[in-house]
Amino acid sequence: MAEPPAIPWWRDAVVYQIYPRSFQDTNGDGVGDLAGVLRRLDYLSWLGVDALWLTPINESPDDDFGYDVSNYYDVHPALGDLGTVDRLIEAAGRCGIRIILDIVPNHTSDRHLWFVEARAARDSAQRNWYVWADPKPDGALPNNWRSAFGGPTWELDPSSCQYYLHQFLPSQPDLNWWNPEVGDEFDRILRFWFDRGVAGFRIDTANKVVKDALLRDNPPLRPTDPPMERRLGQRPVWSSNRPEVHEVWRRWRAVCREYDPERLLVGETVLDDLETVARYYGDDDELQLNFNFPFVFADFTAGALRDVVQRTEAAFGPGRWPVWTASNHDVSRFPTRWCRGDRRRIGMALLMLLTLRGTPFLYYGDELGMTDVPVPTDRLADPLSHRLPGLFRGRDPERTPMLWRSEPGAGFTVPSMEPWLPFGNSGLSVESQRNDPASTLRLCRDLIMLRRESSDLRAGDFGVLDAPDGVWAYRRGSSTVVALNFGDEEVAVPDVRGRVLIASNRERDGAEVPGVLRLGPAEGAVLLSDSAYSGCQNLYELR
């Protein structure tokens, strides 16, 4: 008999996102660093995560904290150096943890030597690495495109009287992916890091990298356009999701396939339409994983989450593997946004994240139920809070330092040092939760362990089960059931027979369920069911 196809490692994995500036400081400057990640490998190994995604570690002037790269082949000096990366990859590997880096192919810093060269003269060798355009004959901007960070996407370069394109900050000029030299350079960058043992990349703004070659005007919004599409105030049909972008990802995937195990690509695809997200998987020849922002932005209700997960299952089918994430460095943390700090709801959300069909990505601090931290105006660091004052809260509240201990410095930095962003509630620290069996941290860890042991949870198919209003119940594989009560009243879920494996109220772990599962307000449970479910209840098989 033919060998069954090997399951790629990332399907069984739980990935943990680290914002390195905020994880662990080792030299007392108030900024986290890569040596800090190394120092905390014991914790990460205890938590049970399989891979770390580090937001950009490259050299950068930090206009956008690493998303403005000035050298793709080296490390930001505040974070460490190449030697530290090598040691981290090696030491993490010994703990069974892989390292995923962030790559920014859409734009560079305006201080990158490529751009310095490009803007030096109209005929400079690297001019065409970026997107330049003349003003219209009447002096107007080359087109009507809007930047995701406010204002037009065009910045005038006074010395050459041409505009350059920037879909983010003016100091983040967009690269020109129509130029084959750019593609060749990024192949080299990929191989440079893969050769060092990096397991994969999270690709920044993966759907915007190729722009319309004719730079045509984007059409106006329609009343029916969904929320993420509306953000620019226009329909980004010529600046996003261009068909040619898929050629870039096919080419990158081919580079990933040069390595064993094959390297991983995870796309940041901030899109409402899940069919369009599904296209970034290609025919298993583009990105292996893509973030699911309709899930991130769904309301925390049974109906909204059930709907988005069912729509994902329907759009992806059995062949594409979803990603489930609820917090990241750009959005309010889920314990605040979804749960308003309610510990019961935070536990239920973790239980959901770790039991859906797909790869969960946790954001550092999710396991503690870390909430957003209000940042005083004089300490705001995110350029967006300065660029869009009053309009946007900025992204600092979700980027504050990890809480390791309940003491000055929080175990993050030396007690005398004020960290780059303020600390949150030290009552949530690792130290205060680690030995408490009822804590959010222990719940998260136990769910990760359960997932490791359960082939249903790792690989089983997904099917929605009947449940009363306000409850979302689903099965995984043939014998695992998850029920989540989003309501404020106790409910009885009929036709559930089996044993509770883990409940968000830990006192219920191990309880026998004789036929009716009672769930308290904001309570969730994973059960080993006595009833054998068959795949025919599976959503995509029903279609």
Residues annotated as part of the active site: 204, 258
What is the bridge-based pairing of β-strands 289-290 and 154-157?
Answer: unpaired
Does 25 contact Ca ion by CB under 5 A?
Answer: yes
Q: Which residues in 223-282 contact ligand NOJ (CB under 6 A)?
A: 268
12, 29, 81, 272: residue in contact with Ca ion (rule CB under 5 A): 29
Burial of 455 (0-12, 13-18, 19+ CB in 10 A): middle
Q: How far is the CB of 17 from ligand NOJ (least distance, A)?
A: 10
Euclidean distance between CA atoms 250 and 442, whole angstroms: 40
Does 396 contact ligand NOJ by CB under 6 A?
Answer: no
Does 175 contact ligand NOJ by CB under 6 A?
Answer: no
Asked if 67 and 172 touch (Cβ cutoff 8 Å), the reply is yes
What residues are paired with 103 via a beta bridge?
203
For 99, phi then psi, to 5°, come to -115, 125
Does 19 contact ligand NOJ by CB under 6 A?
Answer: no
Q: How far is the CB of 329 from ligand NOJ (least distance, A)?
A: 6
27 binds, among Ca ion, ligand NOJ, none (CB under 5 to 8 A by kind): Ca ion
Euclidean distance between CA atoms 153 and 139, whole angstroms: 16
Q: Which residues in 518-537 contact Ca ion (CB under 5 A)?
A: none
The tokens describing 420, both together, are 């780059």
Q: How far is the CB of 6 from Ca ion (least distance, A)?
A: 39
Closer by beta carbon to ligand NOJ, 252 or else 404: 252
Closer by beta carbon to Ca ion, 33 or else 63: 33
Does 204 contact ligand NOJ by CB under 6 A?
Answer: yes
Q: Which residue type, as a one-letter code, is found at position 76?
A: H
The tokens describing 18, both together, are 């680290």
29 binds, among ligand NOJ, Ca ion, none (CB under 5 to 8 A by kind): Ca ion
Euclidean distance between CA atoms 110 and 87, whole angstroms: 31
What is the bridge-based pairing of β-strands 71-75 and 523-529?
Answer: unpaired
What is the bridge-based pairing of β-strands 15-18 and 359-363?
Answer: parallel
Asked if 473 and 483 touch (Cβ cutoff 8 Å), the reply is yes
What is the bridge-based pairing of β-strands 51-54 and 71-75?
Answer: unpaired
Which residues lie closer than 8 Å to 328 by C-beta, 6 or more apart? 17, 296, 361, 363, 398
Closer by beta carbon to ligand NOJ, 31 or else 502: 31
Cα 32-34-40 angle, rounded to 5 deg: 85
Q: How far is the CB of 205 from ligand NOJ (least distance, A)?
A: 5
DSSP category for residue 425 = -
Euclidean distance between CA atoms 356 and 198, whole angstroms: 27
Q: Which residues in 80-139 contact Ca ion (CB under 5 A)?
A: none
Each residue 93-132 as x (binds ligand NOJ by CB under 6 A) or -, in order, gives -----------x----------------------------
What residues are paired with 152 via a beta bridge?
146
Does 159 contact Ca ion by CB under 5 A?
Answer: no
- Cα atoms in the 13 Å half-sphere on the side-chain side of 271: 22
70 binds, among Ca ion, ligand NOJ, none (CB under 5 to 8 A by kind): none
168 binds, among Ca ion, ligand NOJ, none (CB under 5 to 8 A by kind): ligand NOJ
Q: Which residue type, as a one-letter code, is found at position 376?
A: P
286 binds, among ligand NOJ, Ca ion, none (CB under 5 to 8 A by kind): none
12 binds, among Ca ion, ligand NOJ, none (CB under 5 to 8 A by kind): none
Closer by beta carbon to ligand NOJ, 67 or else 486: 67
13, 15, 18, 31: residue in contact with Ca ion (rule CB under 5 A): 31
Taking every pair of C-alpha atoms in the chain, what is the biggest distance, in angstroms? Answer: 78
330 binds, among Ca ion, ligand NOJ, none (CB under 5 to 8 A by kind): ligand NOJ
29, 62, 74, 330: residue in contact with ligand NOJ (rule CB under 6 A): 330
Does 418 contact Ca ion by CB under 5 A?
Answer: no
Asked if 362 and 335 touch (Cβ cutoff 8 Å), the reply is no
67, 281, 291, 423: residue in contact with ligand NOJ (rule CB under 6 A): 67
Q: How far is the CB of 27 from Ca ion (least distance, A)?
A: 4
Q: Three-class SS of residue 540?
A: helix
Euclidean distance between CA atoms 253 and 288, whole angstroms: 9
Closer by beta carbon to ligand NOJ, 126 or else 205: 205
Does 143 contact ligand NOJ by CB under 6 A?
Answer: no
Q: How far is the CB of 115 from ligand NOJ (least distance, A)?
A: 15
| Closest CB to ligand NOJ: residue number | 67
> Binding residues for Ca ion, per CB under 5 A?
25, 27, 29, 31, 33
